Structure 1
Amino acid sequence: MLSTYSSPFVLSSSCCSPPHPFLLAPAYSPPRPLPAIPDPDEIDDLALFRRATLAADAGSGGGDGGAVAASLRRRPAAQPKVAFLFLTNSDLSFAPLWERFFRGHERLFNVYVHADPSSRLLLAPTPSFRRRFIPAKATQRASPTLISAARRLLAAALLDDPANAFFALVSQHCVPLRPFPSLYRALLSDPPAAAGRRRHHRSFIEILSGEPGLWDRYVARGDAVMLPEVPFHRFRVGSQFFVLARRHAVLVVRDRRLWKKFRLPCLRSMKDSCYPEEHYFPTLLDMQDPQGCTRYTLTRVNWTDSVGGHPHTYRPWEISGDLIHELRRSNSTYSYMFARKFSPDCLDPLLAIADSVIFRD
């Protein structure tokens, strides 16, 4: 005979009734996601991206360009230009080195900077960076906010100058490895188009599949959350830093279908597998135009002793001509043009070898 016992979880309909299983079980707690992108930020971005898409479709600089482009200088279409998109949350410590890189090529490039609003930039920007900051929103690791920031930069560049043909995303820790003409030639050296086809510039973006841990990255937002838009066999990974051809920049800014998946926050329990900015761009371009991408990045990164998802950070005592030559080498047809990650105090030793090594082929 079952004994009775006093408990607030026992049903009162019968003194001998067993405890109700649902009342004894612990309350179910659904997995907690990381913070999502605020709705006002998303609404602002959609309006910006719509203007940029319309401007690109019209083949113009976008009329007044809205608030984002209001302070950016305008030029008539000319030779193809490279838009350098700096994504930063700290000082642009290597601006003097980039000035050396840009010197004499002012008609072939534009600079755009997205600086996290919480960052305090203590160093006055050098001429190429002055008044080149776009309205920015907060960014953080393990968050699609880094995708949004890159898309804002692309949109601002599309609105600002119709001559922007290539869009190079770099960080404050990136430095150039070769002179500007070397980069320009590499970007323009597309293979001849097939008979009857228009010649298109290609994008330099790393696109990888079958990488270790890819499944954990795919389910970082939850099981089956990416379906049906992004089945696992179409999910890709690659470097956050790329050089996109103009048509691909427009494709990214226009996208809504994949973005509605990648904008979802990761689960807190999967934070260590959450790198949306390394997945969205390679997945989107591999699904939309795989033949138009080199599948290769122009930015060299040293992952041999990474810590907490951060690559090796070069220090002043490591800077030498031999290091620059080593960082340029690749297994691809193209040499690396940029490298990261360098500590801010590397500026002086880098400037010391700028003319004799970095900007000499």
Structure 2
Amino acid sequence: MKQQEQRPSVSIAKIFKDQLRMGSLLSNFLFLGFGVALGIIVSSFLMNNMPISSVATQFSDSPLPTTFPVTNISEASISPPAPPVSIPPPAPSPSLLPSSDENSTTKELFGLKDFLKVPDDAMHNMTEEELLWRASMVPRIDEFPYKLIPKVAFMFLTRGPLPFAPLWEKFFKGFEGLYSIYVHSDPSFNESDPQGSVFYGRRIPSKEVQWGEFSLIEGERRLLANALLDFSNQRFVLLSESCIPIFNFTTIYSYLTNSTETFVEVYDDPSPVGRGRYNPQMSPVIELEQWRKGSQWFEMDRQMAIEIISDRIFYPVYEKFCNGPCYADEHYIPTVVNLLFPKTNSNRTLTWVDWSKGGPHPFMFMRTDVTFELLETLRSGSNCEYNGNTTTTCHLFARKFHPNTLDRLLRFAPKVLGFHQ
């Protein structure tokens, strides 16, 4: 009986022990699961808050698995990593964005003044192709968005020094902002003008030119293109080292800027030194009846200057067929002006020369030739039209003067030429 009575109690104790064991296992399982979850949460938090560079550094040395499966990727799409590139600092230039300097109180933006600014020195590193392209740019809107003060571009085509520089200095004195100066000299000439001179820094990149050759036209276009870079230049005068002004600056500036016409000499010369120079190979671009002659020393406005430097029709024909006795400097611009601007050109030059002695060159004035009477004759010895009215002021400049005439011209300038009046 006792053995039978003790069996139930043994079974109950066994069952109770089994339940405790199951509870312990369940608790351990829950604790393990909680630990794993907590580890994942902590790891995720650390990864999200760790700097990218640290993560990259941490894993940069880890080898890639050799059996990593690659599917749907062609061999052509896999390339080795590019070598490191050294980026040079940007060149200083006007910026369209505000300054990034936190301490700056103002924001400098690219403006119209930056676009219109002209360097103090006429030298630049543009190629001739780049220069002509840049100079040929024309605004489509005629009205200026700023107050334009028109300037006259005085362009000197010279072999070397300017012997009449002291006379021109007196001519320009006091009229800064109303003129620009450009000098095209032989590349072999390396003398520099003194600082403070109006000619200082006004020499343009030049090439050799020869009298009677097509290189003269190239030099003239080079001068025009450089002068066109300044939007304020509205009138353009070609001069030589032997040219002098025969009026003061005020008179010449007013005469040019108020003129309704340009001043390029154009006429039809049927003689052997006119039509006789025409090359039939120029046809059909230029026919004999279109052939014209004129003085090399011109004055023109901005519209005409742009057409001359951007010409791709007549220029190649002259370059190819007008050489030797053709003398392109006497025919190219007169012919083009006659074809493109027959109504707005006066067909006369503003530079007086003496051809009365004959020969291929005009008369050269020496020291004893310079008198009051000569200068007065140059100033008012002929009749012409200006803006539809008859006038005796037909020439503003004269040539050819020998350098030994400088002293006399300086003495006569205040009284006869009206300098500083």
TM-score, normalised with respect to structure 2: 0.63
SS in 1 for 2:181: strand
Q: Deviations over 1:29-76 (max 9, x none)?
A: xxxxxxxxxxxxxx943332111112x34689xxxxxxxxxxxxxxx8
The answer (yes or no) to whether the contact 1:92–1:125 under 8 Å persists in 2 is: no
Corresponding residue number in structure 1 for 2:355:
303
Over 3 Å counting, the alpha-carbon distance change for 1:325 and 1:162 in structure 2 is: same
Corresponding residue number in structure 1 for 2:418:
359
SS in 2 for 1:353: helix
Unaligned runs of at least 5 residues, structure 2: 1-125, 386-392
Over 3 Å counting, the alpha-carbon distance change for 1:156 and 1:123 in structure 2 is: closer
Corresponding residue number in structure 1 for 2:199:
129
Shift of 1:79: 1.3
The answer (yes or no) to whether the contact 2:156–2:241 under 8 Å persists in 1 is: yes
Corresponding residue number in structure 1 for 2:311:
255
Which one is further off, 80-89 or 207-216?
207-216
Over 3 Å counting, the alpha-carbon distance change for 1:45 and 1:59 in structure 2 is: farther
The answer (yes or no) to whether the contact 2:282–2:321 under 8 Å persists in 1 is: no
Shift of 1:355: 0.5
Is 1:93 the counterpart of 2:149? The answer is no
Is 1:321 the counterpart of 2:353? The answer is no
Equivalent positions of 1:166-315 (< 5 A) are 166-190=235-259, 201-213=260-272, 214-219=274-279, 224-264=280-320, 266=322, 271=324, 273-307=325-359, 309-315=360-366
| Backbone CA RMSD of aligned residues | 2.2
Q: Distance in 1 between matches of 2:309 and 2:322?
A: 22
Is 1:344 the counterpart of 2:403? The answer is yes
Shift of 1:331: 2.8
SS in 1 for 2:253: helix
SS in 2 for 1:128: coil
TM-score, normalised with respect to structure 1: 0.74
Is 1:112 the counterpart of 2:182? The answer is yes
Shift of 1:226: 1.2
The answer (yes or no) to whether the contact 2:193–2:200 under 8 Å persists in 1 is: no
Tell me: higher relative CO, structure 1 or 2? Use CA pairs within 8 A at least 6 residues apart. 1
Unaligned runs of at least 5 residues, structure 1: 1-42, 61-75, 191-200
Over 3 Å counting, the alpha-carbon distance change for 1:346 and 1:109 in structure 2 is: same
Query: Which structure has the bigger radius of gyration?
Result: 2
Shift of 1:228: 1.1
Q: Distance in 1 between matches of 2:297 and 2:349?
A: 7
Give the counterpart letter for 1:249 in structure 2.
A
Provide the aligned length of Structure 1 versus Structure 2: 283
Shift of 1:212: 2.4
Q: Deviations over 1:311-337 (max 9, x none)?
A: 100000111111111112223134210
Which of 216, 231, 242 aligns to 1:162? It is 231
Give the counterpart letter for 1:341 in structure 2.
K
Shift of 1:172: 0.4
Is 1:53 the counterpart of 2:136? The answer is yes
Q: Which runs of 4+ in 1 moved over 4 A?
A: 120-126
Identity of aligned residues (%): 36
The answer (yes or no) to whether the contact 1:237–1:283 under 8 Å persists in 2 is: yes
Over 3 Å counting, the alpha-carbon distance change for 1:163 and 1:258 in structure 2 is: same
Corresponding residue number in structure 1 for 2:148:
78
Shift of 1:97: 0.5
Corresponding residue number in structure 2 for 1:18:
none
Shift of 1:78: 2.9
Corresponding residue number in structure 1 for 2:215:
145
Q: Deviations over 1:137-175 (max 9, x none)?
A: 11001211111111111110111x211000000000000
The answer (yes or no) to whether the contact 2:156–2:240 under 8 Å persists in 1 is: yes
Q: Distance in 2 between matches of 1:321 and 1:122?
A: 33
Shift of 1:189: 3.1
Q: Distance in 2 between matches of 1:233 and 1:265?
A: 17
